[in-house]
Amino acid sequence: MTEDILDTQSYVNNSCLQLLLQELVPTSIRVSHRLHDSTSTTGASLANSTEPTQADTQLSSVRNDLPGTVNVLESSLLNNDEVTLRIETYGYSLGLKLAEVLLYKNTTSGTKLVDILDIMKFVCRDVWKCLYNKQMDNLRTNHRGTFVLVDNNYKLIQKLNSPKGIHDTLAKSRVYLWLPCGIIRGILSSFGIESNVTAEITSFPAVTFNIHTGINN
């Protein structure tokens, strides 16, 4: 019998993973800035990128974007489609691969995924269990292809707290939510379901995922 890849998993430090994921949005903004700069040829000052990063190295053309600071989130590109799409795409390909790994496990345990509701339950249970070691707190559907998934304490944004108050916290947290949206869309896509996933923060840190599919159930 072959070795089970999910049983041989090794542990990843939770803090490190959280901190790594928090770099997602800043990195995406920086990439967009770099792309804009190179087309408008003003990015010449950042050209010597072979130098190792120092405490006073400007990371992008955003003003005062230095290591250890969060000024990059003040960028006008924060809600730019290009930035959010990059994050969503990242989640999407993660979701596609994750579905494969989890399904491999699932087929051996004998569960059958027959209709779309089973697939949604799979997202709520197995996928969330794998990602966050918990299940979704609520699953609702209108039986016409729209599903609402609620996580009452969503881990990725749970610790975020902006010095500028709750409105700023919400605005910036929303950008991070494109990652799980992408993951869900990627999972569904690997089942052959085309969908449209958006997320909203109902009462921080509770997150509601709205999934629109073309399938009537």
Q: Point out which residues pair with 146 in neighbouring strands.
A: 212
68 belongs to the binding site for another protein (CB under 8 A)? yes
Q: Which residues partner with 198 through β-bridges?
A: 210
Residues 71-130 that bind another protein (CB under 8 A): 71, 73
Among 5, 6, 19, 101, binds another protein (CB under 8 A): 19
Q: Give me the least distance between CB of 204 and another protein, in Å please.
A: 11
| Cα–Cα distance list, 14 to 156, 163, 180 (Å) | 11, 24, 17
Give CA–CA dist 135/126, Å, rounded: 8
For residue 163, state whether it binds another protein (rule: CB under 8 A).
yes
SS3 assignment, position 191: coil
Is the distance from CB of 6 to CB of 101 less than 8 angstroms? yes
Q: Is 170 in the site for another protein (CB under 8 A)?
A: no
The yes or no reply on residue 164 touching another protein (CB under 8 A) is yes
6 binds another protein (CB under 8 A): no
Q: Which of 172, 181, 205, 209 binds another protein (CB under 8 A)?
A: 172
Which of 69, 93, 142, 153 is the binder for another protein (CB under 8 A)? 69
List the beta bridge partners of residue 137: none
Q: Which of residues 20-39 bind another protein (CB under 8 A)?
A: 22, 25
Choose one: 12-20, 146-154, 179-187, 188-196; the region binding another protein (CB under 8 A): 12-20
Amino acid at 169: T
Residue nearer to another protein on the CB measure, 84 or 213: 84
Specify whether the CB–CB gap between 128 and 136 falls below 8 A: yes
Task: Show Cβ contacts of residue 82 under 8 Å, excluding neighbours closer than 6 positions.
Answer: 32, 35
Piece in contact with another protein (CB under 8 A), picked from 67-75, 128-136, 143-151, 179-187: 67-75
The one-character DSSP state at 123 is I
Residues contacting another protein: total by CB under 8 A: 27
Name the minimum Å distance from CB 176 to another protein: 8
What phi and psi values does residue 2 have, to the nearest 5 degrees? -75, 155
* Calpha distance 64→111 (Å, rounded): 53
Listed ranges 96-104, 128-136, 155-163, 180-188: which one lies at the site for another protein (CB under 8 A): 155-163
Which is nearest to 119 in space by CA: 87, 145, 86?
A: 145
Residues that bind another protein (CB under 8 A): 15, 18-19, 22, 25, 55, 63-64, 66-71, 73, 159-166, 168-169, 172, 176
